[in-house]
Amino acid sequence: MYLAVKLVVIFAPNKISEFMSIVAIVGRPNVGKSTFFNRLIQRREAIVDAVSGVTRDRHYGKSDWNGKEFSLIDTGGYVKGSEDVFEAEIDRQVELAIDEADAIIFMVEVESGVTGMDEDVAKLLRKSSKPVFLAVNKVDNGQREKDAVEFYSLGFERYYTISSINGSGSGDLLDDIVASLPDMDDEGTEDAAEKLPRFAVVGRPNAGKSSFINALIGEDRYIVTDIAGTTRDSIDTTYNRFGFEFNLVDTAGIRKKRKVKEDLEFYSVMRSVRAIEHCDVIILVFDASRGFDGQVQNIFWLAHRNNKGVVILANKWDLIEGKDNQTTNEFEKYIRKQCEPFTDVPIVFMSVLNKQRIYKAIETAVEVYKNRTKRIKTSELNETMLDIIAATQPPQHKGKYIKIKYVTQLPTEWPAFAFFANLPQYIKEPYKRFLENKLRQKYDFKGVPVTVFIRKK
């Protein structure tokens, strides 16, 4: 985590602007913005691909230079007047990033020279009062250094020749950028961000994940279209409202492997899986009108295998016609049947479009997080569980009595318990499930996998 450049990928509009300066990287598509972003944060966090328009949402990272930390924004390529359904949204995201930034890196590339799209971006930036640093990328030899002179025509006082691939020239650029940034006190923000719980919003493409986060934060932070696969990167947002504070991670939709055709989507799905592996609670959003299908179940079991807390959100419940309380009960029974034997999972029926029960979903996720981090005193555990075991002892094995004498909770990130017995090898899975169910009944581990180990006394 701690390299020459430290990273905490977070976004909290009020919090970051209060403690840390923001630098936005903007420019037309495919000039190397994401490559430069990855170099500055020392991690391949933004997706890089030869396909134009890979970066769609703004992507946030944290970097430092000369002892000064700043938040870095990677934006989608700016294209004025495009008919692409994504481009209008991307352009709006770029304009929002410019509004948020304290300094702007305007990136162009020497191979293509000055283009009409570069001039469009330059016109947009000249309207801003923010300091703009013109970075001419892909300058890796003397001839290209000479060719870069033509970028004076964009109307900026100075340009910087750099290479995002090997980092040449970036030192002079960063020296001037950090010198232009206002002094801000960011003491303690990094530790606070790292300690915050992480809730990953996951599901199939087009289930309403980004819309859910936008509705929560009250801002169109993530691009939303009717086309599946709009979100490609996994991006964090710090949520701090109504007494709750945690990181929400928006992820790319996860489809079946056989339907993932392009490399770009493959990397997006891999980042979603990584987001699951590094979070505390999974908020599994699915389209109720499509049902709790096989791919949604696969995501559920992926979370279970990684011992994460789980909240299931049945989105678009408003689209179900003729529903009543019985409909809800039957649908819930159906979902729990698919989740067996891990049926102790909260299910929230909601509509992001109508903002129905979205805060209930967050309250439930916070409860699940508390359940996942719950610690039971050893004395209390033994007092409770040994009486239960005495009333329902493990089955004998070939005339041998099995005695459980002691139980303790293990120091893991999720609830895990060790039961010490004289003959642990003869305690089978059904009795382990019995112990798990009793732990759930007594201590409320709703939404959290519970692991039971039987060990030699």
Binding residue per annotation — 394? Answer: no
Burial of residue 258 (number of CB atoms within 10 Å: 0-12, 13-18, 19+): exposed
Helix axes 85-100, 116-126, angle to 10 degrees: 40
Binding residue per annotation — 28? Answer: yes
Give Cα 292 to chain centroid, integer Å: 22
Residue 392's CB: how many other CB atoms inside 10 A?
A: 11
Q: Which long-range contacts (C-beta less than 8 Å, at least 24 apart) are formed by 297-304?
A: 297/338, 297/339, 298/254, 298/256, 299/202, 299/203, 299/204, 299/254, 300/339, 302/273, 302/276, 303/202, 303/276, 304/342, 304/449
Residue 126's CB: how many other CB atoms inside 10 A?
A: 11
Binding residue per annotation — 318? Answer: yes
Binding residue per annotation — 203? Answer: yes
Binding residue per annotation — 207? Answer: yes
Binding residue per annotation — 75? Answer: yes
Binding residue per annotation — 208? Answer: yes
Binding residue per annotation — 32? Answer: yes
Binding residue per annotation — 447? Answer: no
Binding residue per annotation — 218? Answer: no
Binding residue per annotation — 76? Answer: yes
Buried/exposed code over 301-311 (b: 16+ C-beta within 10 A; e: otherwise): ebbbeebbbbb
From CA 101, how far away is CA 122, in angstroms rounded? 16
Binding residue per annotation — 251? Answer: yes
Binding residue per annotation — 27? Answer: yes
Binding residue per annotation — 317? Answer: yes
Binding residue per annotation — 210? Answer: yes
From CA 330, how far away is CA 318, in angstroms rounded? 16
Binding residue per annotation — 53? Answer: no
Cβ(253)–Cβ(229) below 8 Å:
yes
Binding residue per annotation — 206? Answer: yes
Binding residue per annotation — 235? Answer: no
Binding residue per annotation — 315? Answer: yes
Binding residue per annotation — 186? Answer: no
Annotated binding-site ranges for GTP: 27-34, 74-78, 137-140, 203-210, 250-254, 315-318
Annotated binding site: 27-34, 74-78, 137-140, 203-210, 250-254, 315-318
